[in-house]
C-alpha cells in the first residue's frame, strides 16, 4: 500500500478524482485542503479569491497551518507528495515535505507566480518583490522532482523566468465527457427555466477575475442589443461579477443574464445552454493561463470564441481543433462581427460544435488524462 499526500488550499473534486484513479486502488491518499471535497481530508484554511488582499491573507493562513501541521506530524510516512500551486507557497511547502518524508515531490503549477502579480500591479515595490520571487523560483524549482502544468505555452512561460531551465510535463485538464455533453435546448431544464430554448446563447461561464477580459463582452452585448434572438449569459463569480452587475443596471440591459455559480447537479445543464462559449483573457496575460472552462464548453458541443493573444494555449487549441475563432486583437467590433456571423451561418456553427466535441473526446477526456498521469507516476 502506497501513501500519498496532496496539498492544495483549493482543489476541485474532479481533479481529486483524476489523481485518485491514476494512483490506483492500492494507494492511500490524504488531502490537506480548504475545499469541500470527498476523501480523507484534513481541513485547512479556505481559499478566498475575492481580491489580491484576501488571497495574500488566506495564503499566509495556509502557510501557517502547514508549518504547524509539519511540526505535529513528523511520525507519518508518505511515498509521494503532490501539491498544487493554489497557493503558490505550496512550492516551498512541497520542498520542505519532500525533505521531511524523503519522498518525490510532484508540483502542478496551475497559476504562475509571480508573473500574474507582475502583469496586474506596476510599481517599484512590486517589481522588487517579484524580482526576488523569480530568484527564489530559479534556485528552488530544481528541487522539485516533477513539475507539471496544463499547456505547452504555459510550460514555456515557467522556464522564461528561470536562470536554470527545468523539464516541465504538460498534462491538460481532464473533462468528464459522460457528464458534460450536448443537450437539446428544448429538453434542457436550465434553458426552460431561463427562457433560452429559442435563443442563440453566447455563454461566459467560470471565474470573472482580473485576468479575464469581461469588459469587451459587455461592450459587444451593447453593440448587438438590437439582435433580439442573441442572449448573453454570464455564470460565475469573482471580482468582476460586480462589473457585469453594474453594467446591466447602468445600461438597463435586457440581453444579458447574470447568474452565480450553479450547484453541481445543475452545472451540466447550465454548461450545455450555449451555442457559443466565450473564453476571454487579458492579452498581456494569456500565455500564463489555459482556462479550464474551455474544455467543459467543448464537451457540451459549443463553438469556442477565444479572446487571446498570438501565442498562447487557448489559440493553439482552437486552431488545432478547428472548433471556433481565435481573436488575437481584443476589438469589440470584431468580436460582435464574429458572433453575428456564427449566428447567421448555421453550417459553420455546427461544424465548430461537432469539432469541439470530437476534440475533447480524443485529447481531453478523463480516460485519456488519467492515463497520462499514470505514465508520469510510473516513472517515479
pLDDT in tens, 219-241: 999 999 999 999 999 999 888 99
- Residue 235 is inside which H or E element, if any? strand 230-237
* In-domain check, residue 76: yes
Task: List residues bridging with 203 in a β-sheet.
Answer: 233, 277
pLDDT at residue 33 greater than cutoff 70: yes
How many domains in the chain? 2
Model confidence at 308: pLDDT above 90: no
Query: 146 and 285 in one domain?
Result: no
Check residue 177 and report its DSSP letter: T
Instruction: Specify the CATH number for the domain of residue 166.
Output: 3.40.50.2000
DSSP per-residue codes, 38-95: SSSEEE-PPP--SSHHHHHHHHHHHHHHHHHHHHH-TT---SEEEEESSSTTHHHHHH
Residue with cell 480548504: 34
The answer on 234 and 133 residing in a single domain is no
When pLDDT is averaged across residues 157-169 and rounded to a whole number, the result is: 94
CA 121 from chain center: how many Å?
21
Residue 357 and residue 374 share a domain: no
Q: Tell me the β-bridge partners of 238.
A: none
What is the separation of C-alpha 205 from the centre of its chain, rounded to a whole number of angstroms?
A: 11
User: CA triplet 87, 108, 21: central angle to 5 degrees?
Assistant: 115
Q: What's the CA gap between 98 and 105, in Å, rounded?
A: 6
Q: Could you give phi then psi for residue 201, rounded to 5 degrees?
A: -100, 125
Residue 375 has pLDDT above 70, yes or no: yes
Instruction: Please give the average per-residue pLDDT across 153-182, as a whole number.
Output: 95
Q: Are residues 302 and 372 in the same domain?
A: no
Residue span of the structural domain in which 273 resides: 185-364
More confident residue, 333 or 281: 333
CA distance 202 to 149: 29
CA 230/CA 220 separation, integer angstroms: 11
3-state SS string over 15-54?
Answer: HHHHHHHHHCCCEEEEEEECCCCCCCEEECCCCCCCCHHH
* Residue 296 sits in the same domain as residue 322: yes
47, 124: one domain: yes
**Is pLDDT of 44 > 90?**
yes
**Residue 64, pLDDT above cutoff 80:** yes
* Phi, psi angles (nearest 5°) of residue 343: -65, -40
Region 13-18: mean pLDDT is 94
The verdict on 218 and 118 lying in the same domain is no
Query: From residue 17, how far is each of 9, 249, 251 by CA, in Å?
Result: 16, 40, 43
pLDDT at 277: 97
Q: Indicate if 262 and 315 belong to the same structural domain.
A: yes
Residue 102's φ and ψ, nearest 5 degrees, are 55, 50
* Same domain, yes or no: 228 and 327: yes
Asked whether the predicted pLDDT for residue 138 surpasses 70, the reply is: yes
Question: pLDDT at position 306, please?
Answer: 94
Give yes or no: residues 235 and 153 share one domain.
no
- Considering the domain boundaries, does residue 260 fall inside one? yes
Residue 23, in any domain of the structure: yes
Q: What percent of the chain has pLDDT over 90?
A: 83
Residue 211 lies in a domain: yes
Q: State the pLDDT at residue 309.
A: 86
Q: What does the pLDDT read at residue 318?
A: 96
Looking at residue 211, its pLDDT comes to 67
Residue 295 and residue 219 in one domain: yes
Please give the average per-residue pLDDT across 157-165, as a whole number: 93
Q: What is the mean pLDDT of residues 156-161?
A: 94
Q: How far apart are the first and last CA of the chain?
A: 16
> Residue 107's beta-bridge partner residues?
83, 147
Tell me: do 213 and 164 sit in the same domain.
no
Residue 122 has what pLDDT?
A: 84
Give the torsion through C-alpha atoms of 121, 124, 130, 136, to 10 deg: -170
Q: Of how many residues is the chain composed?
A: 380
Q: Which residues contact 68 (CB under 8 A, 6 or more apart)?
A: none
Cα–Cα distance for residue pair 293/304, rounded to 1 Å: 11
What's the gap between Cα 136 and its chain centre?
A: 25
pLDDT tens, residue by residue, 191-223: 999 999 999 999 999 888 776 789 999 999 999
pLDDT reported for residue 157: 95
Q: What is the pLDDT of residues 78-132, one digit of tens each?
A: 999 999 999 999 999 999 999 999 999 999 999 899 998 888 888 888 899 999 9
With respect to residue 146, please indicate whether it lies within any of the assigned structural domains. yes
In a domain, 324, yes or no: yes
Q: What does the mean pLDDT of the chain come to?
A: 94
Considering the domain boundaries, does residue 180 fall inside one? no
Q: Is residue 179, in this structure, part of any structural domain at all? A: no
Amino acid at each position: 500500500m502506497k501513501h500519498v499526500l496532496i496539498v492544495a488550499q483549493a482543489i476541485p473534486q474532479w481533479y481529486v478524482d483524476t489523481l485518485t484513479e491514476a494512483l490506483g486502488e492500492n494507494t492511500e491518499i490524504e488531502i490537506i485542503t480548504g475545499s469541500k471535497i470527498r476523501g480523507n481530508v484534513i481541513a485547512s484554511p479556505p481559499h478566498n479569491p475575492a481580491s489580491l488582499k484576501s488571497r495574500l491573507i488566506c495564503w499566509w493562513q495556509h502557510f501557517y497551518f502547514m508549518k504547524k501541521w509539519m511540526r505535529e506530524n513528523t511520525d507519518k510516512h508518505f511515498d509521494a507528495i503532490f501539491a498544487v500551486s493554489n497557493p503558490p507557497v505550496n512550492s516551498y511547502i512541497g520542498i520542505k515535505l519532500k525533505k521531511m518524508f524523503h519522498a518525490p515531490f510532484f508540483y502542478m503549477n496551475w497559476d504562475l507566480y509571480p508573473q500574474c502579480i507582475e502583469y496586474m500591479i506596476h510599481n517599484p515595490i512590486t517589481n522588487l518583490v517579484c524580482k526576488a520571487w523569480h530568484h527564489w523560483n530559479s534556485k528552488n524549482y530544481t528541487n522539485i522532482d516533477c513539475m507539471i502544468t496544463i499547456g505547452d505555452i504555459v510550460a514555456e512561460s515557467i522556464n522564461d523566468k528561470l536562470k536554470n531551465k527545468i523539464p516541465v510535463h504538460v498534462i491538460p485538464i481532464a473533462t468528464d465527457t459522460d457528464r458534460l455533453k450536448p443537450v437539446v435546448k428544448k429538453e434542457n431544464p436550465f434553458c426552460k427555466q431561463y427562457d433560452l430554448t429559442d435563443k442563440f446563447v453566447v455563454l461566459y461561464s467560470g471565474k470573472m477575475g482580473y485576468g479575464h477580459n469581461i469588459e469587451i463582452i459587455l461592450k459587444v452585448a451593447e453593440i448587438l442589443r438590437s439582435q433580439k434572438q442573441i442572449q448573453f449569459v454570464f455564470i460565475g463569480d469573482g471580482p468582476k461579477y460586480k462589473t457585469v452587475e453594474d453594467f446591466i443596471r447602468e445600461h438597463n440591459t435586457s440581453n444579458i443574464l447574470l447568474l452565480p455559480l450553479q450547484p453541481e447537479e445543475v452545472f451540466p445543464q447550465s454548461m450545455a445552454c450555449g451555442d457559443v462559449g466565450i473564453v476571454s483573457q487579458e492579452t498581456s496575460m494569456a500565455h500564463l493561463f489555459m482556462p479550464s472552462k474551455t474544455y467543459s464548453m467543448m464537451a457540451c458541443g459549443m463553438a469556442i470564441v477565444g479572446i487571446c493573444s498570438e501565442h498562447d494555449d487557448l489559440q493553439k487549441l482552437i486552431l488545432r481543433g478547428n472548433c471556433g475563432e481565435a481573436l488575437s486583437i481584443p476589438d469589440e467590433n470584431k468580436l460582435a462581427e464574429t458572433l453575428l456571423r456564427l449566428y447567421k451561418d448555421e453550417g459553420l456553427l455546427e461544424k465548430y460544435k461537432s469539432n469541439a466535441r470530437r476534440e475533447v473526446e480524443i485529447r481531453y477526456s478523463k480516460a485519456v488524462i488519467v492515463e497520462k498521469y499514470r505514465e508520469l507516476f510510473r516513472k517515479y
